[in-house]
Structure 1
Amino acid sequence: MSQTSQHIIFDMDDTLIHCNKYFDLILGDYFEWMTEWFQQYGVTTQDIRTKQMEIDVAGVDKMGFASVNFPKSLIATYHYFSKVHGRGRSPKEEELLFKLGLSVYDQEIEAYPGMIETLEELRDEGHQLYLYTGGESKIQTRKIEQMKLAEYFNDRIYIRQHKNITALEEILSLGTFDRSDTWMIGNSLRTDVVPALTAGINSIYIKQQREWQYNLVELKQEPHNVLYTVSALTEVPEVIQEHLN
């Protein structure tokens, strides 16, 4: 590596490949079912959306990125409105909701625009690339294999169910990272940017037009290290190059 080579850690979901849009598609079906079932009680889509988000976020805080958390949040929301309005709960409806929630993990995987070009450019410039993703190993490994991401990251791939400062510090302790030359690239303020700044490494926040509520937190402290905000993955190589100049 050259003296300007950097250690660049990439998030995967909604940084390199699409993720949230598939949850939105499933939630679209869910809201249709729920508003139909609870129509006579005056329950609105916004009522359902707000409660499901509340339950979903609380579940991730407790369980991390476990695959069952999303379908469980759909059923728990169903239970909530059933109890509030005195509507009977149906095992058949609960089974439908659980299958609907799990179906989000069967969606076709799609890369963000410029994913290959961005990774190839950074690799060809001599930077060392790492992948750090949150979720269950089986699900995340399938995505990695389908996108052929090992071509860029080799064995430098880390999958963690909880994605926080503790997990990031563990990863940083596994390698010979010079923190001033290390970057975290991701779309989540909560799980990418805040842990990176806390760990004293650089960060590039890829701000998405539509973001999962869980990812949005306030940056309470002024970062003492580097933080850039971009709107597209393809901006990352230029940002890093300009920083090094």
Structure 2
Amino acid sequence: MKQTILFDLDDTLVHCNKYFYRVIDRFANLMAEWFRDHGLTAQAVRDKQTEIDIAGVHVLGFKSEHFPQSFIETYRYFSTLYGHTSSAAEEDTLWKLGLSVYELETEPYPFMEETLDRLASAGHELHLYTGGEPLIQRRKIERFSLERYFGSRIYIRRHKNVEALENIVRAGGFDRARTWMIGNSIRTDIVPALTAGIHAIHMKAETEWLYNIVGIDVQPKGAFLSLHRLSEIPPAIENHIRQTEEEVV
């Protein structure tokens, strides 16, 4: 039974969050140094940046300039709070620091190629559905030659939500009973998949971005699994197919 399988990219197939955390740590430590006379802690900076970052994503989606802008807005917040005279030079430093995250080389999750090879060899149709800006996401796709698995079946959306996934499913004429969404984000991968009535596999991350953590109030119509490693995906899907065939018999 051929399946249609949509994969998320960031923090499902390739690492992403850990690079943002590294840059945020540098930002928080720099801010704590600049505001040391006011007793500002790095954790307080992280908390405010997270608050501003998430609020912006709700409005702008996954726009690259938003991340460095969250550094600037955090800086301005504490400058106003403590009466610190802000400077264009300091803001420029923070802007460049925020943008630097997009220049870091990403690395794949363990068993990425083996997992995609196994699913493709089994005859399943693989799709890539990712949030972000085309230039940045295409750079990752090309780095790992992911076109060999997904071909033209690649969807990049700034806003990754229920409506976006539903549009992809409808436009592709997918059989929902044989369609899967695989990703790490409860908000942008799992809830939209369950809402669309397709199967969902949640890939649990060791440390998850707060934006991705939401409650699930949708009743699954198909399979809903939680896994830890990519290598667990093929046998999980094969087991589901086997159970489905047995029920038909």
The alignment's TM-score, normalised by the length of structure 1, stands at 0.97
Superimposed CA distance per residue, residues 198-233 of structure 1 (whole angstroms, 9 cap, x where no aligned partner): 010000000001011111101123323221000111
Partner of 2:246: none
Partner of 1:242: 239
C-alpha distance in structure 1 between counterparts of 2:101 and 2:55, whole Å: 19
Deviates more, 1:216-225 or 1:66-75: 216-225
Shift of 1:169: 1.1
C-alpha distance in structure 1 between counterparts of 2:178 and 2:218, whole Å: 21
Partner of 1:158: 155
Please state if 1:211 is matched with 2:208.
yes
Secondary structure, counterpart of 1:32 in structure 2: helix
C-alpha distance in structure 1 between counterparts of 2:42 and 2:51, whole Å: 14
Partner of 1:8: 5
Shift of 1:116: 0.2
- Summarize the alignment of residues 28-107 of structure 1 with structure 2, pairs less than 5 Å apart: 28-107=25-104
C-alpha distance in structure 2 between counterparts of 1:115 and 1:84, whole Å: 46
2:198/2:221 contact within 8 Å kept: no
C-alpha distance in structure 1 between counterparts of 2:71 and 2:90, whole Å: 11
Q: Which amino acid counterpart does residue 110 of structure 2 have in structure 1?
A: P
Structural RMSD (CA)? 0.8
Q: Which amino acid counterpart does residue 185 of structure 1 have in structure 2?
A: I
Q: Which amino acid counterpart does residue 51 of structure 1 have in structure 2?
A: K
C-alpha distance in structure 1 between counterparts of 2:47 and 2:25, whole Å: 14
Q: Which amino acid counterpart does residue 6 of structure 1 have in structure 2?
A: Q
C-alpha distance in structure 1 between counterparts of 2:156 and 2:23, whole Å: 24
Please state if 1:119 is matched with 2:135.
no
C-alpha distance in structure 2 between counterparts of 1:30 and 1:233, whole Å: 32
2:201/2:227 contact within 8 Å kept: yes
Q: Which amino acid counterpart does residue 147 of structure 2 have in structure 1?
A: A
From 94, 104, 109, the equivalent of 2:106 is 109
Secondary structure, counterpart of 2:130 in structure 1: strand
Q: Which amino acid counterpart does residue 17 of structure 2 have in structure 1?
A: N
Q: Which amino acid counterpart does residue 221 of structure 1 have in structure 2?
A: V
C-alpha distance in structure 1 between counterparts of 2:104 and 2:49, whole Å: 21
Superimposed CA distance per residue, residues 91-134 of structure 1 (whole angstroms, 9 cap, x where no aligned partner): 10100000000110000121110000000000000100000000
C-alpha distance in structure 1 between counterparts of 2:25 and 2:38, whole Å: 20
Partner of 1:147: 144
Please state if 1:19 is matched with 2:16.
yes
- Aligned-pair identity (%): 53
Q: Which amino acid counterpart does residue 96 of structure 1 have in structure 2?
A: T
Equivalences, count: 242
Stretches (4+) displaced over 6 A: none
Secondary structure, counterpart of 2:55 in structure 1: helix
C-alpha distance in structure 2 between counterparts of 1:203 and 1:97, whole Å: 38
- Structure 2, unaligned runs of 5 or more: 243-249
The alignment's TM-score, normalised by the length of structure 2, stands at 0.96
2:64/2:133 contact within 8 Å kept: yes
C-alpha distance in structure 2 between counterparts of 1:34 and 1:239, whole Å: 46
C-alpha distance in structure 1 between counterparts of 2:81 and 2:217, whole Å: 37
Secondary structure, counterpart of 2:110 in structure 1: coil
C-alpha distance in structure 1 between counterparts of 2:116 and 2:210, whole Å: 28
Deviates more, 1:41-50 or 1:187-196: 41-50
Secondary structure, counterpart of 1:177 in structure 2: coil
